[in-house]
């Protein structure tokens, strides 16, 4: 069994049990965004978190153990995503990436926004012209250091 197999087991169990990511997140006591990323193989769970998830989804012991191993991060199968929804994020970065970079450097200086010390919140925003996807990301600014 490998980490991709564990992800398949989790998704299958979620569907079989009729759960939403928010339900799983509530059981683990963390945000739906972080728990979904963890369940999809992008975060490391503690022993307690892995045991809770294993119990909730009836995962085998091998799967529970693999959830506690730091994963190889980055889940896209190709350099340019082919899934239409994920491609739109790629397109967003292609179009606005330089804008993000310029505005962050102007406001904070030379550095990066951390994806490690990071929060994200995804919500539905009702709109009479069609509901909108609202994503708020907050990452710690990390300046480059001189040495």
| Residue-by-residue DSSP string for 77-124 | SSSS--SHHHHHHHHHHHHHHHHHHHHHHHHH-SEEEEEEEEEEEEEE
CA atoms of 4 and 17, how far apart (whole Å) = 20
**H helix or E strand, kind and range, residue 135:** strand 132-143
What are the catalytic residues? 88, 91, 114
């Amino acid at each position: 069994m490998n980490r991709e197999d564990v992800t398949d087991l989790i998704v299958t169990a979620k569907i079989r049990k009729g759960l939403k990511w928010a339900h799983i997140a509530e059981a683990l006591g963390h945000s739906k965004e972080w728990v979904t990323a963890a369940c999809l193989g992008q975060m490391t769970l503690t022993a307690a978190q892995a045991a809770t998830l294993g119990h909730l989804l009836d995962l085998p012991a091998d799967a529970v153990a693999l959830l506690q191993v730091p994963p190889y991060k980055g889940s896209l199968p190709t350099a340019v995503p082919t899934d239409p929804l994920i491609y739109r994020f790629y397109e967003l970065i292609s179009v606005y990436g330089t804008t993000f970079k310029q505005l962050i450097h102007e406001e904070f200086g030379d550095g990066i926004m951390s994806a490690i010390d990071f929060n994200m919140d995804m919500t539905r925003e009702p709109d009479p012209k069609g509901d909108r996807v609202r994503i708020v990301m907050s990452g710690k600014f990390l300046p480059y250091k001189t040495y």
